[in-house]
Structure 1
Amino acid sequence: MIDPTLPLIDLHRHLDGSVRLETILDLGRQHNLPLPAMDLEGMRPYVQVTDPRPGVMAFITKFKWMVGSLVNYDACQRVAYENVEDARQEGIDYLELRFSPGFMAEPHSLDLQGVVEAVVDGVKKGTLDAGIDVNLIGILSRTYGPLAAQQELNALLHCRENITALDLAGDEANYPGELFVEHFQRARDASWQITVHAGEAAGPESVWQAIR
């Protein structure tokens, strides 16, 4: 039996994977985006897992239309705000919200630093209105390679006081953690905590590498 008086926490929510269907449709209509459907139930199978997926990269394809709706910095700020609002409505008291600036910026060629600033602003406004505690975690997208990850890290470090930790996610099989050691040394120098997606596609050796 769960004690309903205990505070609820969510330690692993992806901002760029938690975009409301209604928001995708709204932004799609506003900006004439070529969405695959123009109603909630039509969009659902494109952004939610409704059947078994063969692996993590197939799962990540579900993010396509979520990040594809982030046409500008206002959209990024809106989605950040709505993530906090949704957590409050779910009864969450403490939220750790993670996001990849590069992943969010790519579909519409947004500036990485602009994305980070928009997310920070949206979360700040959301926490003021929702009255819950939120910490932001920056994600480096393995899939783009080490050089692009350095650019993501630079953008995150610009707002270092608003970021709690650094994460690594994406194509683990083709971009092992060894390629990103320097990135995480810089994160440590910034006094950030560390968390890593590992063992999703590369087995236990990837988990050990992340720990070491």
Structure 2
Amino acid sequence: MVDIPKIDLHCHFDGSIPPEVLCDLASSRNIEIPGGSLEGYRLYLKETKNCKSLVEYLERFDFPIAILQDEEAIIKCMEALIENLDKQGLVYCEIRFAPQHHTKQGLSQEDVLKALLQAIKNKKDSCKIHIELICCMMNFGDVILNEKQNWETIDLVEKYLHRGVVLLDIAGAEGKNMLDFEKFFIRAREKNIPFIIHAGEAGDSNNVRLALEFGALRIGHGVRSIENLDVVQELIDTKTPIEVCISSNIDCFVFNLEQHPIKKLKDAGVMITINTDNMMFSNTTLDHEYELLMNGFGITRQELIDFNLNSLHAAACDDVIKQRLSKLF
């Protein structure tokens, strides 16, 4: 374990739950476990690195989402994730989730959020880590498929902003249809809701440019900005942080380790933060990401600290929390 204060700004709830917790809940709810058992599921997760496509990778979400449809399951999974992050030495994490994913058996988006907030409250005294939430809208490939649900997510963030929720986001099938979703960010700006955008992962550098035009405070992934030096320069000029997730990029066929542009982006002056994305699916932790950086790119311990200071600067929590966390560095 790298003994430094650790911050993760890009951690998906449904992709980061400890497998043993999911399998226990699945058994009690008569939900079929991929692989048939906990050990079978662990083998199934290891095979994630052998997925043939991003579509196959995204199918990994079906199992946790099937479980996360009642308040008890949501609370237990969030508590387990918080405990896991705390044991890994994280001092701060922004956990993102799509409320609309968890409404298939009667919960409202607000019910889902309240369950997560309850879990955070339950662990406040026993865990040192500070947790904030990010609510994601979803891109399913066509804006009309879930337009109503995305408007509901914006309203939910407006209601709970600074009450456990710090940002709005959009995740899912990033492609060439970014402009179709601009109207949601226009609404967010009208409501003074701060937002970030997944861009430059499955989609190209133009999506990063559009995300900046829309007003994103940070870019989720953003690594394909390297394809256009003008976009890289815009990231530098606007001091917009990007949320780099190396293991996830490898698993999702964005870049392999040798091709990954993190060093080029860092050396150019882009503000880099290091994150896990989906700990369960990529079988990773922040410490594992740090090992990849040190062994693959010669990143030093001080540079890892600098990345975490970038994350602290980019975090969406209030200044009181930032000041408290800054004393740990």
TM-score bracket, shorter-length normalisation: 0.7 to 0.9
Alignment of 1:122 with 2:119, yes or no, is: yes
Q: Find the aligned partners of 1:208 and 1:118 in 2 and give their Cα distance.
A: 35
Equivalent residue number for residue 162 of structure 1: 164
Equivalent residue number for residue 150 of structure 1: 151
The 1:53–1:211 alpha-carbon spacing in structure 2 relative to 1, beyond 3 Å, is farther
Matching residue within 58, 65, 68 for 1:67: 65
Shift of 1:128: 3.1
The 1:3–1:77 alpha-carbon spacing in structure 2 relative to 1, beyond 3 Å, is closer
Deviating more after overlay: 87-96 vs 136-145 = 136-145
Q: Find the aligned partners of 2:53 and 2:191 in 1 and give their Cα distance.
A: 33
Structure of greater Rg = 2
Equivalent residue number for residue 28 of structure 1: 26
Contact 2:83 2:127 in 1 (8 A): yes
Equivalent residue number for residue 104 of structure 1: 102
Q: Find the aligned partners of 1:154 and 1:59 in 2 and give their Cα distance.
A: 30
Shift of 1:204: 1.1
Q: Deviations over 1:133-169 (max 9, x none)?
A: 1121111111144332112323333323221011111
Tell me the TM-score normalised to structure 2 length. Answer: 0.57
Q: Helix, strand or coil: the match of 1:32?
A: coil
Matching residue within 55, 58, 67 for 2:56: 58
Equivalent residue number for residue 43 of structure 1: 41
Consecutive unaligned residues in structure 1, runs of 5 or more: none
Q: Helix, strand or coil: the match of 1:168?
A: strand
Contact 1:77 1:119 in 2 (8 A): yes
Shift of 1:40: 1.9
Q: Find the aligned partners of 1:145 and 1:49 in 2 and give their Cα distance.
A: 31
Alignment of 1:63-102 (within 5 A): 63-102=61-100
Q: Helix, strand or coil: the match of 2:168?
A: strand
Alignment of 1:7 with 2:5, yes or no, is: yes
Shift of 1:180: 2.4
Equivalent residue number for residue 171 of structure 1: 173
Contact 2:169 2:197 in 1 (8 A): yes
Equivalent residue number for residue 141 of structure 1: 138
How many residues are paired up? 208
Contact 1:57 1:170 in 2 (8 A): no
Q: Find the aligned partners of 1:198 and 1:44 in 2 and give their Cα distance.
A: 30
Shift of 1:189: 4.5
The 1:157–1:74 alpha-carbon spacing in structure 2 relative to 1, beyond 3 Å, is farther
Deviating more after overlay: 118-127 vs 79-88 = 118-127
Residue identity in the other structure for 2:209: W
